[in-house]
Amino acid sequence: MLFSQNIKNNWRYYFVKKLIWKKTKISKIKLVSPIEGEILKLEDVPDPVFSQKMMGDGIAFFPIEGKVVAPADAKVINVFPTKHAIALETAEGLEILIHIGLDTINMKGEGFSVCVAEGDQVKAGDILVTYSLELVKEKASSTITPMIITNGDIVTHLEYHYSGQSVAGKTTVLVVTLK
């Protein structure tokens, strides 16, 4: 007992302990579905910017309702002026872009209602945007909604959960392992 107490009181013990724990600490972030609907592979999105992962890796959704919720606890870092996309950042530094529909930028905000502002802190499941799904069907090329990790340089692994249907704010769709 005395021997182990002497080791724990030794400054080298603390130095090595901190160094090892810091190096082996793995950060994982669970992302839930921001959309109620069908889960799709990003490669299946009919837009090469997303399907070829030019903006980053991720997952996509075919929505059945016009509501987008936060996929994780995060800070709102960008609300696009056209309201068709929103960017978030988790406390760990993971940046997430949710792009509602394809070619919805041309709608210039028509049919979209943003429920948050830049700088707001949100919890997983909080409503970010509501929109007219019917209007997007009518005016955009697709309702498919990609969710992209825009700073993939801090990601070591993405674990995809393609379970078919997703419940907004509840179904885990990605587990992200950070460096």
The active-site residue, picked from 84, 99, 157, 161, is: 99
Asked whether the beta carbons of 166 and 36 are under 8 A apart, the reply is yes
Scanning 25-90, the segments in alpha helix (DSSP H) are 48-51
39, β-bridge pairs? 61
- Known active-site residue 99: yes
Question: What is the C-alpha R_g of the chain?
Answer: 20
Report d(CA 86, CA 76) in Å as an integer: 8
Residue 21 corresponds to which tokens in the numbers above? 């724990």
- Report CA torsion sign: 118, 121, 125, 127: negative
Angle at 141 between CA 138 and CA 142, to 5 degrees: 90
What residues act catalytically? 99
